[in-house]
Amino acid sequence: DTLWMSMELASKFSTWKDFIETLAHEMVHLYQIQIQKDPYANHNKNFYAWKNTFSTVGLNLER
């Protein structure tokens, strides 16, 4: 099976960190879909399980 996904981000972010946090947030959703086989990939316990990992590199994981 071939899966096609696209993502659209804002053309400008207030800071580089905001951009990285947004991109990382979306990559967690991709992980939910591709690896965890979660068809909804929403802000559930699997999503927030990444919060500590983000924190260790100085990033916030928010909805």
* Residue-range definition of the domain harbouring residue 35: 16-56
Please give the distance of CA 8 from its chain centroid, rounded to a whole number.
13
Q: How confident is the model at residue 31 (pLDDT cuts 50, 70, 90)?
A: very high
Residue 21 counted as domain residue? yes
Residue 62 counted as domain residue? no
Residue 6 counted as domain residue? no
Residue 43 counted as domain residue? yes
Burial class (CB in 10 A: 0-12, 13-18, 19+), 28: buried
pLDDT in tens, 3-14: 788 999 999 999
pLDDT(16) > 90: yes
